[in-house]
């Protein structure tokens, strides 16, 4: 199934997930997470160099 950004945000909210500030997710926030997917997997990118970051992966 292909989900729109709005559908993903709605699903996250229905499951009770909230942003760091305790607010409901919006499609813009979901887009930002997907655009920064490697960072959220715990990978730091600088130019064309990728390295495991010191921060924990959250996805």
Residue 4: per-residue pLDDT:
96
Residue 57 pLDDT exceeds 70: no
Of 41, 39, 4, 6, residue with least CA distance to 24: 6
Report pLDDT digits (tens) over 2-47.
Answer: 999 999 999 999 999 999 899 999 999 999 888 887 777 778 777 8
∠ CA 55-58-40 to the nearest 5 degrees? 70
Write down the pTM of the prediction.
Answer: 0.66
Three-state DSSP at 49 gives: strand
Residue 20 belongs to some domain of the structure:
yes
Q: Considering its fold, how many domains does the chain have in total?
A: 1
Q: Is residue 58 part of a domain?
A: no
When pLDDT is cut at 50, 70 and 90, the band that residue 58 belongs to is low
Query: Containing domain of residue 34, as a range?
Result: 5-52
């Amino acid at each position: 199934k292909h989900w729109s950004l709005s559908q993903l945000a709605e699903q996250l909210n229905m499951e009770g997930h909230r942003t760091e500030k305790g607010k409901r997710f919006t499609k813009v926030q979901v887009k930002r997470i997907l655009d920064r997917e490697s960072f959220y997997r715990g990978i730091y990118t600088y130019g064309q160099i990728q390295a495991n970051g010191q921060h924990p992966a959250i996805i």
